[in-house]
Amino acid sequence: MKKTGIFRGLAALMSFLLSISVIVGNTLESFSTTIDTALGTQSEMMVTDDKDAVYDRFTPPAELLNEDGTGNSHALIQAAIDLNREQAAEGT
């Protein structure tokens, strides 16, 4: 009888610790930006071996660029809206 009580107590303690760790982990993950700002750290970082800039390989179509070659966000948003309408009309 004594071993049953010990195992029951250990099982209760472990389940309590598991539930607390899940709750604390989710809470810390949801506030990661605030915690990073307070501690001066970075939770996520892109690491690459290339010496070039990370996003230099993608060039959008010419109709989505301004005259100086920079991206035109209004044209990009309109292209996404047009694609959405086209897919909705097709039933996809």
Helices (H), 1-92: 2-30, 32-39, 73-90
pLDDT of res. 26: 97
- Which has the closest alpha carbon to 79: 71, 90, 70? 71
Mean pLDDT confidence for 39-65 = 77
Per residue in 8-49, pLDDT (tens digit) is 999 999 999 999 999 999 999 999 999 999 999 988 887 777
Q: Half-sphere exposure of residue 51, counting CA atoms within 13 Å on the CB side?
A: 0
Is pLDDT above 80 for 78? yes
Quick one: what percent of the chain has pLDDT higher than 90?
54
Model pTM above 0.85: no
- Residue 64 exposed, middle or buried by CB count within 10 Å (0-12, 13-18, 19+): middle
Closest by CA position to 78, among listed 86, 89, 70 = 86
At 32 the pLDDT is 92
